[in-house]
Amino acid sequence: MLLNGVQFLRSGLNVAPRSYNNFRLVCRALSVQYGDAKSLTPVVKEYVEKCVELCRPERIHICDGSVEESKLLQALMLKQGTIVPLPKYKNCWLARTNPADVARVESKTFICTDRKEQTVPVTPDATPGTLGNWISQEDMQAAIGARLPGSMKGRTMYVIPFSMGPVGSRLSKIGIEITDSPYVVESMKIMTRAGRQVLDVLQEGNSQFVKCLHSVGTPASGVQAQPSWPCDPERTIILHKPSDNEIVSYGSGYGGNSLLGKKCLALRIGSTIAKREGWLAEHMLILGITNPQGKKIYVAAAFPSACGKTNLAMMTPTLPGYKVECVGDDIAWMKFDSKGVLRAINPENGFFGVAPGTSRSTNPIAMDTIFQNTVFTNVASTSDGGVYWEGMDKAQLSSVTVTDWLGKLWSQEAGRVAAHPNSRFCTPADQCPIIDPAWEDPAGVPISAILFGGRRPDGVPLVYEARNWAHGVFLGASMRSEATAAAEHKAKTIMHDPFAMRPFFGYNFGDYLAHWLSMEQRGKVPKIFHVNWFRKSADGKFLWPGFGDNARVLDWIFRRVEGEQCYQESPIGRLPSQGALNVSGLEDDVNVEELFALSKNFWQQETQEIEQYFKAQVGDYLPQPVAAQLDELKARVAKM
Ligand code: OXD
Ligand code: MN
């Protein structure tokens, strides 16, 4: 019998595991085309079996994570036209997606809880909520019932056991992703620790895992616009049910919509687990920085998608004697250890970076990382078997022809971009030449400072420090940034993106703020800073060179962590004191005064805007200490 969505959810995984024999019945009828069904624990078998009954695949493939398996899947995708080889590099591939499936779809992403207020603040204001989308149990069941039954007909169902974080670390979590996309399997094998070793951990008695069901689906018409990239953009939906540690994603094969370890598990479900267990799951890079005296600290930084997290995480400092090493570029899981030290792991195993803008001058380390064992998506290709995107050295184009991300011949005069603005490289983290020696330390690395930031062309200085933890939490809550291409937003509007988590909260933002405030009672909290590399002058030019020169900002932060009194109070927080920011040797003249200028008018508007936002979006859920920080800021700005 075909399970419908209602039965799928109602039966959940709370039922006693059925015997292995039962599973064999299903699998025999289907044929396990690859892998060993015996390696699955009873609860995993139960989950796989339910997914089989619901989605009705043709065959099953249990992923072992091996190189042979990758070769098999690459050959299959080549045959299906999903990828083409890039012979200029070693083991690199290019996928071109259906042009309707190119980014995360925030408007179609839902969290399912009993009550709406468990997911989002419910405010009396009529303004539509922007802090996530709630779905009821009934509607989630209906959404599954309308899409998933039979969705894998004719396809192979892949079972991917994966670990977010080093396999076996007390900070790591296990997931089982079921998917009908070999592209997703290959990407998950890069982005997570996937395969047999994860099943061994489950066999050893740790039976908990996050259930991740993904299907690229089939349009209601039955016709795929691009058979090499099956998807169902009209009916795409990404569902999360934190109470069951469960994710169901339908209709998209792209990035965070389909690689379910990343945004769905590590952030949305992850933040709910973190709240329950007393830690933090955040949209943050982690880097180690060593000063000229050989002292090293670790820093975590939250910037909205496509605001330069990968560039900062792999920065080549221009300040002599400084060294930056990369722990992760997108997600940090942070937990206090028994001594009260906040320790972080990068739960990922690879980088899923935005390609355009990545070049030898902006991020040479990324360029040294990505040209082997990498899956590129929606970049342009060159006739010598290479890739191209906006920002890459144009000199290489003189001797080749270029095919754009849509598969059309392209030239520099074409008047359109060659690579999609959200095109990506998906590459193993251990290929990064400056990967931190402790990046896989199961204990995590100690975090001394947390940075918040965004693209703020006006009014916001290069760097300032929070006065205390509650003020830092307020800075995270009031973060704003220009929209980018990582999601479906179009115009370059300044959007609120608190903690860079707006698309990724797994529960009510008010409760999230209370959780952040409570960290102060759990251990020694790091210092918090706000940075803005993107301030512009009146004539529209960036005031700060950014990239490697951001080491100058990290140098000031380092010295503040060390307790140096190199700051002055200002109405918005602590600024570097006169001369404290090291600007010596900067190639271009930088107008430091303009970079740090504070305008009463701007900050009055900014505080008003934050106040309206809190009122409309957070309402009564705003914790009092955060509201008090806003009041204090307003009072200080009034006296400017
Ligand atoms: C990402 C994102 O892909 O934040 O990392 O969109
Ligand atoms: Mn991200």
Whichever domain contains 482, its CATH number is 3.90.228.20
The ligand 1 atom at the shortest distance from the C-alpha of residue 305 is 4
pLDDT of residue 485: 59
Q: What six digits make up the tokens of 183?
A: 């592209």
- Cβ atoms of 184 and 148 closer than 8 Å: no
Task: Out of 330, 351, 488, give the residue to mutate to test ligand 1, the one with the largest number of ligand atoms within 8 Å of its CB.
Answer: 330
Task: Out of 190, 303, 352, give the residue to mutate to test ligand 1, the one with the largest number of ligand atoms within 8 Å of its CB.
Answer: 352
**Domain that residue 396 falls in:** 352-428
Strand spans (E) along 401-456? 402-403, 409-410, 424-428, 445-453
**Closest ligand (CA of 423):** 1
Same domain membership, residue 596 and residue 616: yes
Scan for tokens 């569902």, then name that residue. 239
The ligand 1 atom at the shortest distance from the C-alpha of residue 486 is 6
The ligand 1 atom at the shortest distance from the C-alpha of residue 255 is 3
Distance in Å, CA 310 to ligand 2 centroid: 9
Q: What six digits make up the tokens of 315?
A: 């920065």
Nearest-CA residue for ligand 1 atom 2 is 305
pLDDT of residue 554: 98
Q: What six digits make up the tokens of 135?
A: 């779905």
Each residue of 261-287: b (16+ CB within 10 Å) or e?
A: bbbbbbbbbbbbbbbeeebbbbbbbbb
Q: What is the mean pLDDT of each run of 10 residues along the chain (640 residues)?
A: 44 37 56 88 94 96 97 98 98 98 95 98 85 97 97 97 94 97 98 96 85 97 96 98 98 97 98 98 98 98 91 97 98 98 98 96 96 98 98 93 98 95 97 98 97 96 98 98 67 88 97 98 98 95 96 98 98 98 92 97 98 96 98 98
Query: What does residue 422 show for φ and ψ, rounded to 5 degrees?
Result: -105, 20
pLDDT of residue 11: 44
- Cβ atoms of 472 and 451 closer than 8 Å: no
Say how far apart CA 254 and CA 565 lie, in whole Å. 47
Distance in Å, CA 497 to ligand 1 centroid: 13
Distance in Å, CA 306 to ligand 1 centroid: 7
Nearest-CA residue for ligand 1 atom 4 is 305
Provide the domain count of the chain.
Answer: 3
Taking only Cα atoms into account, the Rg of the chain, rounded to an integer number of angstroms, comes to: 24
Task: Out of 262, 331, 422, 427, give the residue to mutate to test ligand 1, the one with the largest number of ligand atoms within 8 Å of its CB.
Answer: 262
Task: Out of 257, 263, 484, 502, give the residue to mutate to test ligand 1, the one with the largest number of ligand atoms within 8 Å of its CB.
Answer: 263
Same domain membership, residue 405 and residue 338: no
Same domain membership, residue 120 and residue 212: yes
Distance in Å, CA 367 to ligand 2 centroid: 19
The ligand 1 atom at the shortest distance from the C-alpha of residue 309 is 5
Say how far apart CA 250 and CA 225 lie, in whole Å. 17
Same domain membership, residue 179 and residue 303: no
Alpha helices in 173-283 (DSSP H): 182-191, 196-203, 255-258, 270-277
The ligand 1 atom at the shortest distance from the C-alpha of residue 504 is 4
User: Within 13 Å and on the Cβ side, how many CA atoms surround 144?
Assistant: 29
Same domain membership, residue 608 and residue 544: yes
DSSP string, 123-180: -SS-SPP-S--EE-HHHHHHHHHHHSTTTTTTSEEEEEEEEESSTT-TT-EEEEEEES
Same domain membership, residue 111 and residue 252: yes
Say how far apart CA 317 and CA 148 lie, in whole Å. 49
pLDDT of residue 26: 60
Distance in Å, CA 256 to ligand 1 centroid: 7
Which amino acids are annotated catalytic? Answer: 307
The ligand 1 atom at the shortest distance from the C-alpha of residue 283 is 4
Q: Which residues have CB atoms below 5 A from the ion given as ligand 2?
A: 305, 330
Task: Out of 102, 305, 501, give the residue to mutate to test ligand 1, the one with the largest number of ligand atoms within 8 Å of its CB.
Answer: 305
Same domain membership, residue 258 and residue 235: yes
- Tell me, what amino acid is at 293? Q
Boundary of a domain, candidates 428, 457, 491: 428
Distance in Å, CA 441 to ligand 1 centroid: 24
Burial of 383 per CB tally in 10 Å (0-12, 13-18, 19+): exposed
Helix (H, G, I), strand (E, B) or coil at 82: coil
Residue 415 lies in a domain: yes
440-453 residue pLDDT tens? 999 999 999 999 99
Alpha helices in 4-136 (DSSP H): 5-11, 20-30, 42-55, 67-80
Boundary of a domain, candidates 401, 428, 455: 428
**Closest ligand (CA of 422):** 1
Distance in Å, CA 307 to ligand 1 centroid: 10
Residue 91 lies in a domain: no
Residue 3 lies in a domain: no
The ligand 1 atom at the shortest distance from the C-alpha of residue 104 is 6
Boundary of a domain, candidates 277, 310, 332: 277
Distance in Å, CA 104 to ligand 1 centroid: 8
Same domain membership, residue 203 and residue 126: yes
Q: Residue 127 sits in a domain of what CATH number?
A: 3.40.449.10
Same domain membership, residue 386 and residue 331: no
Residue 549 lies in a domain: yes
Scan for tokens 């009209």, then name that residue. 234
Burial of 635 per CB tally in 10 Å (0-12, 13-18, 19+): exposed
Residue 225 lies in a domain: yes
Same domain membership, residue 190 and residue 46: yes
Nearest-CA residue for ligand 1 atom 1 is 305
Distance in Å, CA 486 to ligand 2 centroid: 8
Helix (H, G, I), strand (E, B) or coil at 227: coil
DSSP string, 343-386: EEE---SEEEEE-TT--TTT-HHHHHHSSBS-EEES-EEETTS-
**Closest ligand (CA of 354):** 1
Residue 451 lies in a domain: yes
With the C-alpha atoms ordered 304, 306, 310, 316, is the resulting torsion angle positive or negative?
negative
Q: Residue 380 sits in a domain of what CATH number?
A: 2.170.8.10
Q: Could you give the C-alpha distances from 186 to 93, 96, 100, 216, 405, in angstroms and in order?
A: 11, 15, 21, 15, 20
**Closest ligand (CA of 377):** 1
Same domain membership, residue 395 and residue 327: no
- Cβ atoms of 361 and 466 closer than 8 Å: no
Q: What is the pTM of this model?
A: 0.94
Same domain membership, residue 394 and residue 310: no
Residue (of 550, 556, 598) closest to 465 by Cα position: 556
pLDDT of residue 487: 57
Ligand 1 is surrounded, with C-beta below 6 A, by 104, 255-256, 305, 330, 352, 486
| Angle, alpha carbons 111-115-121 (nearest 5°) | 75
The ligand 1 atom at the shortest distance from the C-alpha of residue 256 is 3
Residue 23 lies in a domain: no
Distance in Å, CA 504 to ligand 2 centroid: 9
Residue 589 lies in a domain: yes
